[in-house]
Amino acid sequence: MKNYHIFLLLSSMILGVVSCKTPPPEKNVIREKHNYIILLDLSDRIIVQENQIARDKDIIKHIYGLFEAKVKKDLYIKSRDEIKVVIAPQKGSRLKTQNFEDSLYVNMKNIDMIKRRTKEEPRRKAYFANIELLYKKAKFSNTPTDYYGADIWKYFYEDLNADYSKDTLAKNFLFILTDGYPVVGKNLEKLQPIKNKYPNLHVVLVEAAPWDKEKEWDHITNVWSDWFKEIGISNYSLIKRSAISKEKEQITDIVEGKQ
């Protein structure tokens, strides 16, 4: 009988130890990747529209803040996110666009694990400083006729495929900061078709600014909508130039999936 009680006691102790075991560690789950592409129209809009440079910089910094928030959400070490600023092709541009685009590209996969969090603030300050320098160089004249129009169609045709992440767990956001149309001085019907497909792309047109004419806004909306349909992009948002706080709120809602 005594041995039986000892057996029961030992059995309960063993069960207690087993039940108190730490659950097995969670398997490494690959996090969803966000790829933020910011396409800039640096034509005469930067001097014609009031406070346009300040507004552009504010929007870019806001998007960078969303990028940082996503990196933090992924605990830094699991982040695979990217952010890049690219410049729409522009005839006669004096900018060394490649140099600026290189300095305004951050890929968390290329950053040492230990530096992802510890160097966050210096990385942000350097990024913002390069944005300031870019716009300082972009505003080379106060005369609108000294600037040529930005060719957004050409970026889609030649460069987007390289910037777009084909990762199956990626969400691509392309923010286009422009006031007008996808092409300059050309008929969309005569352009070569864009054959590449972008299923995981959300295009966000920001700062669209018709000349205070509602009909012109309708025309801009129709042109972009027809073009996106033609090239197979179904996920897009058109944000009219308004209070900067409202635009940033709309951008946040899009990135967070509320729109």
In a domain, 12, yes or no: no
In a domain, 224, yes or no: yes
pTM for the predicted model, two decimal places: 0.88
Query: Quick one: pLDDT at residue 187?
Result: 72
- Is residue 245 included in any domain, yes or no? yes
> Structural domain of residue 116, as residue ranges?
39-255
Position 9 in a domain: no
Total of domains in the chain: 1
The identity of residue 257, as a single letter, is: G
> Does residue 6 lie in a domain region?
no
Report the largest interatomic distance among the alpha carbons of the chain, rounded to a whole angstrom.
Answer: 104
User: Contact 174/37 with Cβ under 8 angstroms?
Assistant: yes
The tens place of each residue's pLDDT in the chain, 259 residues long, gives 545 555 444 555 544 544 444 445 445 688 999 999 999 999 999 999 999 999 999 999 999 999 999 999 999 999 999 999 999 999 888 899 999 999 999 999 999 999 999 999 999 999 999 999 999 999 999 999 999 999 999 999 999 999 999 999 999 999 999 988 888 766 777 778 898 999 999 999 999 887 655 577 888 888 899 999 989 999 999 999 999 999 999 999 999 998 7
Contacts of 128 by beta carbon, 8 Å cutoff, 6+ apart: 61, 64
Q: 3-state DSSP call for residue 169?
A: coil
Nearest C-alpha neighbor of 201 from the set 247, 226, 237 = 237
Residue 120: CATH number of its domain? 3.40.50
Place of tokens 């995981």: 200
According to DSSP, the β-strands at 170-177 and 201-208 are parallel
**3-class DSSP state for residue 61?**
helix
Query: In this structure, is residue 226 part of a structural domain?
Result: yes
- Residue 19, domain member (yes or no): no
30 located within any domain: no
